[in-house]
Amino acid sequence: MYPSCDDKVFSGLYSDNEFCPKEIESWVTTLTGGRLVDPEVLLFAIRGTLLRQQHSLVERSLVECQAELPSTDGLDSCRSLDEACRWLCEHLNQTQTALRDALKRRHHHVLERCLERMEREFDPELSLPVVADWCHFSPSYFSKLFREHTGESFTDYMVSLRMSKAAVRLKNSRKKVYEIAEEVGYRDVKYFTRVFKRVYGVSPNEFRTLGPRTPHTRS
């Protein structure tokens, strides 16, 4: 006997629900077909299934290497089916946590690169769908990740970014306020002034006269 991966069980690795012993016991029972099986043979089969699953996770780049996943060594110490099911349940929960952590690291890296690109290739008309496409995420999923990563919505972040770019222009150029407003995406200079004052606490002209100010909405 050498079982193949059960999609119903292993698909649980990608959910937010923890594995429960009864679910694992039911899966292990299906491996035996209800027959009495030598415990060593069963444990060997379970280990083989787990190792193949771990290899699959690495192949699909869901983790960088197998060392990020929990070891299967403890399986050999199980002396009963109940004990093996409890060990397997804990093992799968640890694998689930490892996958979540690996996903968070990948998302962090992708979003940091995204923010760098938004800064480097500043365009006041940048939209959420366009930036989501940079990251190969759907707009709704990207919006969720973006808020989790930055602590603010994409719209609010863009406002802060526009004001930051405006502040640099006010400091380093002699352009008129309305010209700078247009460069960062505001055709209505009065509205731009209100937003700028809300962010920096002073008007654009005061900012230019008094010197740099710490924005209220970004550290």
Domain-located, residue 16? yes
Residues 24 and 94 in one domain: yes
Tally the domains of the chain. Answer: 2
Residues 130 and 218 in one domain: yes
Domain-located, residue 108? no
pLDDT single digits (tens) 139-167: 999 999 999 999 999 999 999 999 999 99
Domain-located, residue 78? yes
- Helical axes 154-172 vs 139-150, angle rounded to 10°: 60
Domain-located, residue 117? no
Residues 31 and 77 in one domain: yes
Residues 135 and 219 in one domain: yes
Domain that residue 134 falls in: 122-219
Residues 146 and 195 in one domain: yes
Residues 90 and 141 in one domain: no
Mean pLDDT of 69-76: 88
- What single letter denotes the amino acid at residue 169? R
Put simply, whether the predicted model's pTM sits higher than 0.85 gets the answer: no
Q: Which of 50, 72, 103 is the last residue of a domain?
A: 103
Domain-located, residue 72? yes
Token pair of 8, please? 């119903």
Contact 95, 13 (CB under 8 A): yes
Domain-located, residue 142? yes
- Helical axes 139-150 vs 81-120, angle rounded to 10°: 90
Residues 99 and 143 in one domain: no
Of the listed ranges 73-77, 108-112, 142-146, 199-203, the least confidently predicted one is: 73-77
Q: What one-character-per-residue DSSP string does 8-21 give?
A: HHHGGGGSSSPP-H
Q: Which residue has the higher pLDDT, 129 or 9?
A: 129
Domain-located, residue 109? no
pLDDT single digits (tens) 96-128: 899 888 889 999 999 999 999 999 999 999 999
* pLDDT at 133 > cutoff 80: yes
